[in-house]
Amino acid sequence: PPPFRERGLASELLGGGYPCERRGQGTVEVGTLACLVRREGAYYALTNRHVAGTTGEEVFARIRGERVRVGLSEGAPLTKQKLKARFPAYAESNVFVNVDAGLIRLDDVSDWTSQVFGIGEMGEMFDATASTLTLDLMGLPVRAFGGTSGVLEGEIKALFFRYQSVGDYDYVSDVLIGPRR
């Protein structure tokens, strides 16, 4: 692939789609800020677990070429959950869903917007339950903006795609996204 070009987005308001980074042990972990999350009266940015790191690590974004601190990583990252915990109507006991999530406790929420860079305002949130996850979702177009990759477009190809089986345990992704037709 072509070498990574460091992006320094021009807006001083941070939001979904902005690149972020954490430095530690001689490496730089790069990812994308996904959205704002509110928990127990505090605001957080959601990102990948490898970017958030362990509790108390500084996370940065690039604004107009400047490296600006966003906040500190908080809590243990979420890596996998039993399918039954996320979707109680599904009785499979040894099926795990991969979750790649980490939280960053924000230094200043007034620096943020709820809009997603490269996309704009979000529409209504989809409530994913055992009743709403139907085959009607197959082929549905989706769009995202990655902090390092830019615009990403695809469509839903599969629900609960099993990518690994080890012993009595199955590992699935809740949604598999592939290229648009």
Chain segment 105-142, per-residue pLDDT in tens: 999 999 888 888 877 777 788 888 888 888 999 999 99
Does residue 11 surpass a pLDDT of 80? no
Letter for the amino acid at 6? E
> Confidence band (pLDDT; 50, 70, 90) for 42?
very high
Percent of the residues in the chain that have a pLDDT greater than 70, as a whole number: 92
| Mean pLDDT for the stretch of residues 141-166 | 89
What distance in Å separates the CA atoms of residue 152 and residue 141, rounded to the nearest whole number?
A: 11
pLDDT: which is higher, 91 or 46: 46
Letter for the amino acid at 65? G
pLDDT for 54 = 87
pLDDT for 58 = 95
Token pair of 142, please? 């989706």
Answer yes or no: are the C-beta atoms of 106 and 114 closer than 8 Å. Answer: no
Highest mean pLDDT among 77-81, 87-91, 112-116, 118-122: 112-116
Q: Which helix (H) or strand (E) holds 49?
A: helix 49-52
> Confidence band (pLDDT; 50, 70, 90) for 146?
confident
pTM for this prediction: 0.79
Chain segment 161-180, per-residue pLDDT in tens: 999 999 889 999 888 999 98
pLDDT for 2 = 54
Answer yes or no: are the C-beta atoms of 11 and 110 closer than 8 Å. Answer: no
pLDDT for 6 = 53
